[in-house]
A and B are shown apart, each in its own frame.
Chain A
Amino acid sequence: MQYKSQAVAKPYFIAAIGLFVGQILFGLILGAQYVLGDFLFPAIPFNVARMVHTNLLIVWLLFGFMGGAYFMIPEEAETELFSPKLALLMFWIFLVAGAATIVGYLAVPYATLAELTGNDLLETMGREFLEQPLPTKIGIVVVALVFLFNITMTVLKGKKTAIATVLLIGLWGLAVFFLFSFYNPVNVVLDKFFWWWTVHLWVEGVWELILGSFLAFVLIKTTGVDREVIEKWLYVIVTLTLITGLIGMGHHYFWIGTPEYWQWWGSIFSALEPIPFFAMTVFAFNMVNRRRREHPNRAAVLWALGVGVMAFLGAGVWGFLHTLAPVNYYTHGSQITAAHGHMSFYGAYAMLVMMMISYAMPILNGKAANSNKSQVVEMWAFWLMTIAMVFITLFLTAAGILQVWLQRVSDSPLPFMVVQEKIAIFYWAREISGVFFLIGLILYITSFFIGGDKKETA
């Protein structure tokens, strides 16, 4: 570890992995509820499980991003963190707020939670992914602002590299676009229109900058390729991301009451969204092939390559699958969307955070890389989780195609629930894949506790 203050990243990473486990457990509950409708009812209704599953995802990724930033920024800026104490304080606030929110979801009915938390003062709840009670939302803003203050001050007093700047733009964008979660107009069209300013501009906009920046950082460290070369790629990727991602938001504006031209704008620009992801894949492989050193942390390099490939497949290819307006007319809100959502979040962001953890954790523990044994287990975990996710995606895609066909395209369309029963076999297959994913995750966690040969000190 080059800078002492980088150590604050560790609790963030541990919390991220802990919440990740929670997300997967609730994913398995949800998956079971798809086929066994009253599973765990009334203790955990489907809507609550879904909310917990998606909210935990967002929160653990945020923990991962923050941890990653705290680890990376001192090294890039070549100076200690502005205030490690503030970073630790924010960690506890965020963790407690996050845990309290999840307990709230599970302990009381959602409507009661809304009443208890002052939703009538400013109505922000009840919208997909932005279900958090008002105090949690305000907490997120406070934590994000203090976090941004902390890392921005660090960069200001130190070196300003392109990689750090891109990360700062991404993180500031993350905070700014979250503010739209407080805007909840009565007009449903406007509501949906601006709801996407948080949801889309996060995952298909500013988060991609965080992705590019983290990836560039780990590639510089593990391959030893010139910073100049890596930064040039980063500029190209960032530009492509912003142009395709910002206007590509139009692909959410097809059927919500917006003018028709969005069907063209959305289709054309979002069809181009795979390009930056493709560039990232080429970037990762190119840099690794041109490596000037053999980094002892082979697991981190594997994650970096994995991010490139899986983000391109999940976000790029599976996104393109249903992004054109005439296709989306039929597939909108079907299991195709779920397939895309699973692989893109895993490929682009879950793997990204695991890449960062994989690279940083050994260093935080005072060595350049984990023991060979530990890395082998971690790589097994990589393959198990990744292949399980590929299967989850394939089964959901199959379910989605059948669903669209039977329920929407066919000459004699069947009712929703009838179709759900007909495609149940795919939900079972998905659930089994999910169990394998959990095994992969357990292996991943196990890898942290494997010591083994004691060499390779940093």
Chain B
Amino acid sequence: MASTTSAPEEAPHSKRLPGDLAIWIFILAEMLAFAVFFSAYAFARAGNAEMFNLYQQTLNRNAGALNTLLLITGSWFVVLAVQAAHRDDNKGVSRNVALGILCGAAFLAVKVFEYAEKFGAGISLSTNTFYMFYISLTFFHFMHVILGMVILTAIWLQARKGAYTSQNSHGLESGAAYWHMVDLLWIILFPLVYVMR
């Protein structure tokens, strides 16, 4: 984020890596896992495109779109939180992180509603390959949203104690980077599984 707000003691275009190196290694490993999953989906679909297209129609695209919006909004709040920390605005940090968590919770609610509909119709991992991927991919992502929320909650608790300042926003940035990854994965997952044909 090329923030225009002044960040004291910090060169505006320094090559500093936001967050901890360890979280970036973790993020890369996570993205690799999803990349393998996405490739497997593409591979399976290539062999059976018609079946995939047919069952894709049964997915609730509106719910998916709503969830995309929720996650992007959540990411935006987290960006605001990081900017607030760089301004030493403590209240702003905890408020925006809380809003980010709320977006995540709303995402989960929409997803549960969507799952209830599908599982209620008797769809399971063994129904067919398309549903297998739909359930596996979205559930795997679902778990990541939960993990992201756990991380954000830990950050929120710290933020309320005023832990993040312009001098020390390392932990906040680490959590923010992870949350953006959760968002980014969904931005690929949604078109891939719900829309593209």
Contact = CB atoms under 8 A, between A and B. Distances in A.
B25 A264 contact: no
Contacts of B126: 259-261
B36 A272 contact: yes
Interface in A228-284: 232-233, 235-236, 239-240, 243-244, 259-261, 264-265, 267-269, 271-272, 275, 279
Given A259-B126, A261-B126, A264-B132, A236 B32 contact: no
A264 B44 CA distance: 10
B125 A261 contact: yes
Contact of A275 (B20, B29, B44, B133): B29
Contact of B32 (A259, A260, A275): A275
**Interface centre among B33, B36, B40, by most A CB within 10 Å?**
B33
A265 B136 contact: yes
B26 interface: yes
A389 to B, nearest CB: 28
Contact of B40 (A236, A240, A267): A267
A237 B136 CA distance: 24
Contacts of A232: 20, 22
Q: Which of B25, B36, B37 has the most CB of A within 10 A?
A: B25
B36 A271 contact: yes
A269 B22 CA distance: 21
A252 B40 CA distance: 19
A272 B40 contact: no
A236 B136 contact: no
Contacts of B136: 261, 264-265
A261 B133 CA distance: 9
Nearest to A247: B140
Contacts of A239: 26
Contact of A236 (B22, B33, B37, B133): B22
The listed residue with most B CB atoms (<10 A of its CB), out of A260, A261, A267, is: A261
Main secondary structure, interface of B, reads helix
B25 A236 contact: yes
B132 to A, nearest CB: 5
Given A268-B40, A272-B36, A275-B29, A261 B22 contact: no
Interface in B2-36: 20, 22, 25-26, 29, 32-33, 36
A264 B22 contact: no
A261 B29 contact: no
A284 to B, nearest CB: 15
A260 B125 CA distance: 9
Contacts of A261: 125-126, 132, 136
Interface in B133-159: 133, 136
Interface residues of A, number: 20
Contact of A279 (B25, B33, B37, B132): B25
Contacts of A233: 22
Interface residues of B, number: 16
Contacts of A236: 22, 25-26, 29
B33 A272 contact: yes
A170 to B, nearest CB: 20
A264 B20 contact: no
B29 A240 contact: yes
A235 B151 CA distance: 15
Contacts of B133: 264
Given A268-B36, A272-B36, A275-B32, A259 B26 contact: no
Contacts of B44: 264
B192 to A, nearest CB: 15
Given A261-B126, A261-B136, A268 B26 contact: no
B40 A264 contact: yes
A271 B32 CA distance: 11
A214 B41 CA distance: 38
A235 B21 CA distance: 13
Residue of A232, A239, A260, A264 with most chain B CB atoms under a 10 A cut-off = A264
B125 A259 contact: yes
Nearest to A262: B125
A264 B22 CA distance: 29
A271 B37 CA distance: 10
A268 B132 contact: no
A315 B123 CA distance: 36
Contacts of A267: 40
A125 B44 CA distance: 41
A85 to B, nearest CB: 41
Nearest to A244: B33
A233 B136 CA distance: 29
Contacts of B22: 232-233, 235-236
Contacts of B33: 243-244, 268-269, 272
Given A267-B40, A272-B32, 8 more contacts: A232-B20, A233-B22, A261-B125, A261-B136, A264-B132, A268-B36, A275-B29, A279-B29
Interface of A: 232-233, 235-236, 239-240, 243-244, 259-261, 264-265, 267-269, 271-272, 275, 279
16 contacts: A232-B20, A232-B22, A236-B22, A236-B25, A240-B26, A244-B33, A261-B125, A261-B132, A264-B40, A267-B40, A268-B33, A268-B37, A272-B29, A272-B33, A272-B36, A275-B29
The 7 closest A-B pairs by CB, nearest first: A261-B125, A232-B22, A261-B132, A259-B126, A236-B22, A268-B36, A272-B33
